[in-house]
Amino acid sequence: MFTPSDDDYLTLCEYCEENPAARGRRYCSEDCRRLAGRARNARPRKAHLTHVFAEGTVYYCPECDTRYFGVQRCEICDRYCRPLGIGGLCPSCDAPVAIQDLVGSEMTVIFTL
C-alpha cells in the first residue's frame, strides 16, 4: 500500500520555482503571483521612432526649395525647414540627398532591438 510522504503535496512556485507554494496555491507569494501575471500578459516592446536626430536628416525650405543636411533653419529665408527624411551628402556633388529620393516614396525601415 502506498503511503504519501510529506513532500508529495508540496509544489514549487510556478514563477520563481524555488520556494514551495502553500497547499492548493500556485505561487509562493503575492509578488510572484503578480509578476507571473505581468509576464503572461506582457506586451512586446515597440521601437519609439518619434525623434529623429537632426545630424542625419535632410531638410528643405518650403520658400526657396533649398536643401540642407543637418540644419533646421534656412540660411537664405531665415525660416524653419521641413524634414525630408534620413539621408546624407552626395559623394560626387556634395548636395543633400534623402534616402526616399534614391529608393522611392515607399520604403520600409526595419529596426532590431
Average pLDDT rounded to a whole number, residues 91-100: 88
Which range (7-11, 21-25, 48-52, 71-75) has the least confidence? 48-52
pLDDT at 1: 46
Burial classification of residue 2, based on how many CB atoms lie within 10 Å of its CB (0-12 exposed, 13-18 middle, 19 or more buried)? exposed
Which range (19-23, 24-28, 55-59) has the least confidence? 19-23
Give the pLDDT band (50/70/90) at residue 21: confident
pLDDT at 61: 93
Reference 14, options 38, 1, 41, 32; nearest CA is: 32
Reference 72, options 80, 7, 101, 64; nearest CA is: 80
Average pLDDT rounded to a whole number, residues 86-113: 76
The residues spanned by each domain of the chain are: 11-40, 54-103
